[in-house]
Amino acid sequence: MGNLHKPYTKVSVNKQIELLEKRHNKKIKRRRCFYIAEDWLKAGYITRQPRHKNGSGGFISQLSSMIAFTLKGANFLISLGIEKGLVIKHHILHREENEDRRFPTKTDYTEQRNAEMDREEKRRLEDLVEKVTKPFPA
């Protein structure tokens, strides 16, 4: 998940196996890794978002899925005594409370847009809406 404390990862299955062996001295096969991921998906600990890249000439190539922890998964990691679970939970809660301002909400956008418009521009748009929504004479 890197040094940025992201609650998601885009690492491939081969890299997961390599990291497990390197950091935890656990050697597992690819099939076992897929079984574990399936169990965690069914339990609701993680979510998986498939990714694709549109290449030149209309070719579409598949990239490794983005795997994100859910709040239930973060609590499960904390119950196992994994410190990273606290960081993941913190980021998930901040995102849900909308304290993470990387992605603007609709209200932020409309408030900012309204503040930037001057009176003449607002009046012009209101007149345009009035003309467009006016019914045709019979």
Pair type for strands 8-9 and 60-69: antiparallel
Dist CA 26 CA 10 (whole Å): 21
Q: Which residues pair with 48 in a beta bridge?
A: 67
Alpha-carbon distance of 16 to 41, in angstroms, equals 16
- For the domain covering 8-102, report its CATH number: 1.10.10
Longest CA pairwise span in the chain (Å): 81
Q: How does pLDDT run across 17-36, given as a tens digit for each residue?
A: 998 899 889 899 999 999 99
13 and 29 Cβ atoms separated by less than 8 Å: no
Name the least confident of 4-8, 9-13, 45-49, 57-61.
Answer: 4-8
Domain spans of the chain, in order of start: 8-102
